[in-house]
A and B are shown apart, each in its own frame.
Chain A
Amino acid sequence: MEQLFSQIFVGLSIGSILLLVALGLTFTFGQMGVINMAHGEFIMAGAYTTYVVQQALGDGATSTAFLLSLPAALVVAGLLGLALEALLIRRLYGRPLDTLLVTWGVALILQQLARDLFGAQNVEVKSPGWLNGGTEVLGVGVAYNRIFIMVLALAATAGAWFVVSRMKQGRRMRAVMQNRQLAAASGIGTAAVDRRTFFLGSGLAGVAGVAITQLGSVGPTLGQNYIVDAFLVVVAGGLGKLRGAVIAALVLGLCNSLIEYWTEASLAKVIVFVLIVAFLQLRPQGIVAQETRGLA
């Protein structure tokens, strides 16, 4: 029983990581329809931002540096996204295949850039003291860094939800995504909205990168580990739907951890993939369907 609780916690934890890495994609891919293969590299940029901030502030300020990295990574990854949108993607709207190839190329360039700047070796990001170790809840060992990631995922999702549904900017965003021509005709500067949406989506990837430094290695190919999962969450959740992404991430996380517990890691991955394919056969629009009157 304890083991089951323990696995459920692991599942929720995996789910929150999935949610965090996929959150940005619900904007760029889900809402704007841009297949951004460089999304993983924005995560990587966020992770390296943490490293740079830590190096800059020195060993004594690990904790401050880590917290400071969150907004810093949002800005760094967001600016990278902005540059990508302005220089390339803007010219390729409505051409998904070209976008896919171009952003894949950008992903490779960013990886190589990281390799040239920081070396092919992984770099070490130190954990602040309060993220080390863990505690027991109902006999289940929970690591502090996992709790932190859950809280961060929650906060990021809440923030994203607030922007989308409560702010003027968010309303414009949704208007443009649902019917671009009509939005433009109503006086919304669609190009500016696109830029802001892309900044937000990319910036969220950077925030995910900060969290990921606490889990694994920080290296140039870090983003590759998460890109497929991020797309899976968005597709399974239903394009552009925050609620769908939350449900999909948690279900996928729980499936992963429980199936892995009863079988093994490699097999669990296969089973989860099969389940997703089967699910999308039955419900191609994902868990939560986009309701739109747009023609596109």
Chain B
Amino acid sequence: MLLAACGSDSGDSGSGGGGGGDTIKVGVLHSLSGTMAISEVSVKDAELLAIEELNAEGGVLGKKIEPVVEDGASDWPTFAEKAQKLISQDKVAATFGGWTSASRKAMLPVFERNKALLYYPVQYEGLEASPYIFYSGATTNQQIIPALEYLKTEKKAKSLYLVGSDYVFPRTANKEIKAWAAANGVKVLGEEYAPLGSTEFSTIVNKVKAANPDAVFNTLNGDSNVAFFKQLEGAGLPATKLPVVSVSIAEDEVRGIGASKVEGQIVAWNYYQTTPGAANEKFVAAYKKKYGAKRVTDDPIEAAYLQVKLWAAAVEKAGSTDVEKVKAASKGLTYDAPEGKVTIDGDNQHIYKTARIGVIQPDGLIKTVWESKGPIKPDPFLKTYPWAKGL
């Protein structure tokens, strides 16, 4: 609504720029206000941590990295406007930003038109591969499809109910889920969308209850999850009676919902704070040291952190911040991320990732109960799945 009106127009004068000068500027563009701030502030924090670490090690190409932080204000046109500002006014070498698919779709034409780079850290619905975006979160076949397979084989679910927020990601994801379900003999009993930010779920909960599905597939985003789970519990449907699989709830969101409301519920991601490995221990410790022991790390936070490191590695390899050179250097680039070894796919600029299904614990952390055998090759257009033809 009126949120767009309050963007700051600050920003330094043209000095520095992407390649020249003593510093390399990068853009950090997330919602620091509005309904999405709940999720995106932590992601921004992770990116700033990665930049700080890189600077402590001497920066990239011998230059310090200077972040220019902008607020997308949970408003999609603002994202496009701020992206343009970062590119043309601040002359950033790359931008790390976005959360919702709507914000990414708003920024995409800006980055393509200016031939500038965007690193996007969140799992999304697939069916996209812009030559100017690096996707460091999961695409469908690294998150949603493994979650569906888990429901079918491990939970023996024969029917599903789909609940999501009313925007790009849930609608597209549910189209894919319905195609998968039709091919796998799983019934989809219903599909409901709530306006983004909605907190009234009694009617949807009533409909779910009446349909009596084996599981709910939840693609709600942001604050709505809190209301949905509170009201689901109020209706006498805790995790033991009706498992809900969520793809937008990570450790950070669990903190806001209250672990008691979502204990035992299933989530699908590629990384949890509890993921074993030395790289993760180091990352968790650094994050907590900088932002406080109460803070938690989760999948998008980790993806945000690793994408900054991947960009820096690509710049070092290319010996330049030139967009085309960085893109060429990124092909097949690997990095030991907290989630394990990740590799950039040269064709679609997505990342090979291990799928992990987790269960929410009483302390709010997530325990991995199933994981894929090694990193899965990203397939944003689901070309290798026969049921996905015609999507």
Partner-B contacts on A (CB < 8 A): 3, 6-7, 10, 13-14, 17, 104, 108, 111-112, 115, 120-124, 126, 132-134, 141, 143-146, 214-217, 219-221, 224-225, 256-257, 260-261, 264-266, 269
Contact = CB atoms under 8 A, between A and B. Distances in A.
Given A134-B236, A225-B197, A269-B195, A121 B209 contact: no
A215 B258 CA distance: 13
A255 to B, nearest CB: 12
Contacts of A10: 202-203, 206
Q: Which 3 A-B pairs have the closest CB atoms?
A: A122-B256, A143-B234, A216-B199
Given A115-B33, A123-B256, A133-B233, 9 more contacts: A6-B206, A111-B33, A121-B42, A122-B255, A122-B257, A124-B257, A132-B233, A217-B223, A265-B203
B33 A122 contact: no
A16 B193 CA distance: 23
Interface in B288-330: none
Nearest to B40: A120
B199 A225 contact: yes
A140 to B, nearest CB: 9
Contacts of A111: 33
Contact of B38 (A108, A120, A144, A264): A120
Q: Report the interface size class on chain B.
A: 35 or more
Contacts of A260: 203-204
B202 A13 contact: yes
Chief secondary structure at chain B's binding surface: helix
A133 B202 CA distance: 14
B141 interface: no
Given A121-B38, A123-B256, A261 B203 contact: yes
Interface of B: 2, 6, 32-35, 37-38, 41-42, 166, 192-195, 197-200, 202-204, 206-207, 209-210, 223, 226-227, 230-231, 233-236, 252, 255-258, 260
Contact of A217 (B34, B199, B236, B260): B199
Contacts of B199: 215-217, 225
B230 A219 contact: no
Contacts of A7: 203, 206
A19 B34 CA distance: 25
Contact of B210 (A3, A108, A220): A3
Contacts of A108: 6
